[in-house]
Amino acid sequence: MVGSVRIVGAGLIGTSIGLALSAKNIPVEMVDIDPASQALAQDLTGGVRIANPDLIIVATPLKALSVVIEEQYALNPNSTFMDVTSVKTEPIAVVEASKLPLRQFIPTHPMAGREVGGAHSARADLFLSRSWIITPTAQSDPAALAMVGELITSLGATAVELEPGAHDAAVAQISHLPQIVASLLASSLHGAPEQWLELAGAGLRDTTRIAHSDANLWKEIIASNADQIKGLLLNLHSDLEKMIASLNDQEKIAAMINRGRDGRALIPGKHGGKAREYTFVPIVIDDKPGQLGAIFNECAAMSVNVEDLTIEHSPGQLNALITVALSDDDAIKLSNHLSAIGWNVHPIRK
């Protein structure tokens, strides 16, 4: 395991890494160009001064990467370096143009974040159960790669290897396009009467949540991945034109909504891999302690594997609706068993 880590950039990601490492008793030094951010991050993480860190994590904006790498490499020519930038082609080009040998640099991107930034928003568990992409180059030193992989695993994340170009295409689709769409949608609210906005529900709130993101962060991400993003925006532009032309045609509208619903279903659930088709068993239970435990004990006794669970319950309501997501076979097995021993099981559904 890595012996000591310097983290340059005391924002959300950098400080969250610092918190997680210091919770594992790994000595951490938090460095930031802003003295207040650095002091807060050092305080939060119990950071110390480290003379020769094994690993230097550059967690600054992309535009600072070049300067930080030159500075840190001059100070610590034997350290391994990694970045956590949201794009990967450009940071690799930055390192290629610097004195830091490419073999000492491991490009990474943790798929975690919050719409709030800064050291004060940091959480040690930010990376738990998240994917963390590594985009090694042909020059990457195997020992450096192993150290970074081990660090990622120790933070509770799963390391995923991708080619730098494939990474940038993937994040354009799953992160940059949603950001631009949310920002444009939120922009459309300017000029709407206050009374209308007071009526907004969860749909508008969720759809625009990430519009709260930081413009200084995003202007860099979007500009540095413009080529990948452009194709996606052109497709959206053309789909929008089709939608405008179909507003009076219910069947075309239904086809578009269904296409969106099917697209949404491609985002995997619990296990990733395939978008798995679960079968759902609805069970009405009395709203009292012990009911959920009793159901899960039956699941364990029947060796059925619960993939997901929702609980619908309202204050003042004396029962609750539990919906358990299972494989098709497990759903039939559990439904029959629970019904036989007297539970109020409703028909399973896909």
Show contacts with a second copy in window 195-224 (CB under 8 A).
Answer: 195-216, 218-220, 222-223
Distance from C-alpha of 114 to C-alpha of 127, rounded to nearest angstrom: 11
Q: Which of 64, 102, 137, 308 binds a second copy (CB under 8 A)?
A: 308
User: Is 34 a residue that touches a second copy (CB under 8 A)?
Assistant: no
Which C-beta is closer to a second copy: that of 54 or that of 330? 330
Q: Which of 34, 96, 239, 329 binds a second copy (CB under 8 A)?
A: 239
Stretch that binds a second copy, among 64-72, 76-84, 94-102, 166-174 (CB under 8 A): 166-174
Binding mask 91-130 for a second copy (x = CB under 8 A): --------------------xxxxx----xxxxxxx-xxx
Report the nearest approach of a second copy to the CB of residue 219 (Å). 4
User: Is 300 a residue that touches a second copy (CB under 8 A)?
Assistant: yes
Eight-state DSSP code of residue 229? H
Q: Which of 189, 277, 329, 336 binds a second copy (CB under 8 A)?
A: 189
Which C-beta is closer to a second copy: that of 4 or that of 246? 246
How many Cβ atoms from other residues are within 10 Å of residue 206's Cβ? 10
Distances (CA, A) of 321 to 238, 258, 343: 42, 27, 12
- In the chain the first and final C-alpha atoms are separated, in Å, by 45
User: Is 37 a residue that touches a second copy (CB under 8 A)?
Assistant: no
Residue 195: enclosing H or E segment and its boundaries?
helix 194-198
Distance from C-alpha of 34 to C-alpha of 1, rounded to nearest angstrom: 30
Eight-state DSSP code of residue 346? P
Specify which residues 311 forms β-bridges with: 322
User: Is 143 a residue that touches a second copy (CB under 8 A)?
Assistant: no
Distance from C-alpha of 57 to C-alpha of 309, rounded to nearest angstrom: 38
Report the nearest approach of a second copy to the CB of residue 59 (Å). 17
Which C-beta is closer to a second copy: that of 66 or that of 218? 218
Rg, the chain, Cα only = 24
Residue identified by tokens 């950071």 is 47
Residue identified by tokens 């120790």 is 154
Distance from C-alpha of 8 to C-alpha of 47, rounded to nearest angstrom: 12
* Two tokens, residue 127: 């990376």
Report the nearest approach of a second copy to the CB of residue 78 (Å). 30
User: Is 254 a residue that touches a second copy (CB under 8 A)?
Assistant: yes
Which C-beta is closer to a second copy: that of 77 or that of 165? 165
User: Is 139 a residue that touches a second copy (CB under 8 A)?
Assistant: no
Q: Is 305 left (phi over 0), alpha (psi -120 to 50) or beta?
A: beta
Q: Which of 57, 307, 326, 343 binds a second copy (CB under 8 A)?
A: 307
Stretch that binds a second copy, among 49-57, 78-86, 140-148, 294-302 (CB under 8 A): 294-302
